[in-house]
Copies of this chain bind each other. A is one copy, B any other.
Amino acid sequence: SVNPDLASERQTASFSVEKLTALLDGGAEKTRIRRAVVTAIESDPVFSRENQYFQTQNERYEAAVRKAVHLQKKMHEMGWTENGPEYQYIYRALSGDVAFLLHHVFMRSISVLGSDKQIAKWIPLATQHQLIGSYAQTELGHGTYLQGLETTAVFDITTQEFILNTPKISAMKWWPGDMGRSATHTVVFAQLYIHGKCYGIHPFIVQIRSLQDHSLCPGVTAGDIGPKMNFEHIDNGYLMLKNVRIPRENMLSKFCEVRPDGTYVRQGSQKINYFTMTTVRISLISDEVLTPLMKACTIAVRYSVVRRQSKLKPGEQEAKILDYQTQQEKLLPQLAAAYAFHFINDYLQELFDRGYREIQRKNFDMLPELHALSSGFKAMITHHCTAAVEICLRACGGHGYSLLSGLPSLYTKILASCIYEGENTILLLQTARFLIKCFMAARAGHPVPPSVTYLAAVKPGKCPGKSKLDFLNPDIYTEAYEHVAVRLISSTASKLQDLIQSGVKKHDAWNQCTVQLVQAAKAHCHYITVKNFAETVEKLETKAGIQRIMKHLCDLFALHGIFSNTGAFLHDGYISAAQMDMVTASYLDLLAVIRKDAVPLVDAFDFTDKSLNSALGSYDGQVYQRLYEWAQKSPTNKMSPAYEKYLKPLLHNTLSKL
């Protein structure tokens, strides 16, 4: 039975939840396929996550390996293939709780960087799991700055082998997933040396464990890096190599080859490699960033209409906490952001698909723009969504802090997305470098990529909004975002030029501008997100109430961004103080409007109870019952030796006195 406080929220939905789910999925047929995958996975007890919050790191790892192996069987049974329509939903259905993710990166790196001969040899072996692959790039002492990697691969012309070494402790590979305990092979990135000359970073296939008994190969030291904030199910590992010899054929050689005589040959372009990294950044947004945020919103919103606390009006029943303005102001902007980022993700996916087609036609013109967008949006979205999940967690008070709420795990996992695949600050600075370049080009009248043509136009002006309703006009707020982005990019470009002209060295000048460059890059991404949301809403069908509610969310996302960062809009007077008060009024009004549809808006994300794995977020809203029943199963409710060992002696001999 559904908690009546939750049930009543669903009766007044202003739109069709089912239609909104289909919109999010990209069509009703896709919804159908997704649900079929979810049902198949969730009905299989091997994939259960019920005990997850009680398990140790070792138990989580073992379960993830078991699931990965079982998944092969399951796919075969169900007739799912890697190219089929079901495939994209499997990982989401498993909530990512499965091993061998790096095995796929291993395969992708061979596909992209390997010669035809290497692909023909290794891909079938990997596909059939006749080996388990990993991807060893990051070192103890080096992450985002790849040129600094210290592992070496020296070509030995006499034996036609590469000799791999980890010359010092900071050169040890550190963090690669699946490498700590599972992998038999890995792609090692190392500095290539031929005849004492360094040719920079290259990828090498190295066997690290025996296929007979899984023991470490000679010269290999490897293991697990130990406990992390999350990812207990993954065996992130370390790897040291001491004079490990691999055949010349094991250097991935689509673009660079070492000939038998030691001649180094570079073939084709490495730009495509560069592009692969940018696509990874975009491809992770959906599963690793948006899904957790949508889950957190679902849990927090459902809980907020079930939890009653204190009285809003004297003499009445205690109020649902979602009826408090402060609670709405915590949660509803995060819900709006989930939709905003869903739509910008669609936009980015489409752009990257187009880019990929162009590149296949040997047209590399889009690369700088794609690199800048993938860097900036990865940083902006992961940052924003991580903060949003944390807000959802805190908004659930004490119960949000219980692992059984599901929120701590969502938070500790999404947090990693701010760090992996490029640290966010460094990525934003890459975007900023692109923006400054384009700004200079645009102002000099040169052509610039489509996403930055707005930089060419000089529009000083003032915001034309005259009433609080005007600020629900997408043209008004989109232009305000555009104005701020241009202003920040332009003022930082000026500062940079001034510094250089005053004699500061270029790299010092750049460093002295980086705090502001990061702000400029964020403003650019925020502008594009608002603009895209507004354009998406405009294109939606007006039926079934979908467009109306999406318009409200778009308005909320945009006005929340202004309300949270008023200084950027007030600074040059583009928005006046009186106008800012209108923005605030409209923003606060919107909270009360969207609050009415809050539960239907999270229902549309269509998560099952099993996928949420949360005592607070279940569809029926029976929070307290669930918390109580679940807690009783905790291993901490088994008898502890602490009583016999410590408590009994402490309390002993004192019985008569009470």
A residues touching B (Cβ–Cβ < 8 Å)?
53-54, 56-58, 61-62, 65-66, 68-69, 72, 125, 128-132, 138, 140-145, 148, 169-170, 172, 174-175, 180-182, 184, 211-212, 214, 223-229, 235, 238, 307-310, 312-314, 318, 323-327, 329-330, 390, 394, 397-398, 400-404, 408, 412, 415-416, 418-420, 423, 425-426, 429, 505, 507-508, 511-516, 518, 565-573, 577, 580, 584, 588, 624-625, 627-628, 630-638, 640-643, 645-651, 654-655, 657-658
Contacts and interface: CB of A to CB of B under 8 A. Distances in A.
Contact of A658 (B125, B228, B573): B125
A584 B492 CA distance: 12
A181 B643 CA distance: 9
Contacts of A566: 566-568, 570-571
Contact of A226 (B53, B228, B308, B518): B53
Contacts of A325: 511-515
A627 B226 CA distance: 9
Contact of A657 (B125, B172, B511, B636): B125
B401 A62 contact: no
A412 B408 contact: yes
A128 B654 contact: yes
Nearest to A564: B567
A313 B642 contact: no
Given A57-B635, A180-B636, 20 more contacts: A56-B635, A57-B636, A132-B651, A169-B628, A170-B624, A181-B643, A211-B654, A211-B658, A214-B647, A223-B637, A226-B633, A226-B636, A227-B404, A228-B401, A312-B508, A325-B511, A326-B518, A400-B419, A566-B570, A571-B580
A144 B309 contact: yes
B53 A227 contact: yes
Contacts of A211: 651, 654-655, 658
20 contacts: A53-B227, A56-B56, A57-B635, A62-B645, A129-B651, A145-B309, A169-B625, A211-B654, A223-B637, A224-B637, A226-B403, A226-B637, A229-B403, A312-B511, A325-B514, A326-B429, A412-B412, A566-B566, A567-B568, A571-B580
Contacts of A404: 226-227
Contacts of A145: 309-310, 318
Given A140-B627, A180-B636, A658-B131, A647 B226 contact: no
A313 B511 CA distance: 10
A401 B229 contact: yes
Contacts of A175: 398
Contact of A235 (B326, B423, B636): B636
A182 B643 CA distance: 8
Given A309-B144, A394-B419, A415-B401, A647 B182 contact: yes
Contact of A419 (B131, B323, B327, B398): B398
Contacts of A650: 69, 72, 129, 132
B643 A511 contact: no
A313 B505 CA distance: 9
Contact of A572 (B327, B512, B577): B577
Contacts of A651: 129-132, 184, 211, 214
B408 A642 contact: no
A223 B507 contact: no
A439 B389 CA distance: 36
Given A419-B397, A635-B57, A650-B129, A628 B140 contact: yes
Q: Which 10 A-B pairs have the closest CB atoms?
A: A566-B567, A226-B634, A130-B654, A567-B567, A224-B636, A227-B403, A229-B408, A145-B310, A226-B631, A65-B642
Interface centre among A148, A318, A513, A515 (most CB of B within 10 A): A515
A130 B654 CA distance: 6
Nearest to A592: B512
A426 B324 CA distance: 11
B571 A132 contact: no
B655 A61 contact: no
A381 B580 CA distance: 28
A54 B56 CA distance: 9
Contacts of A508: 312-313
Contacts of A571: 566, 570, 577, 580
A339 to B, nearest CB: 21
Contacts of A212: 655
Contacts of A223: 631-632, 637
A69 B419 contact: no
A326 B517 CA distance: 10
A3 to B, nearest CB: 11
A141 B623 CA distance: 10
A651 B212 CA distance: 9
Contacts of A69: 646-647, 649-650
Nearest to A214: B643
Contacts of A624: 140-141, 169-170, 172
Contacts of A182: 642, 647
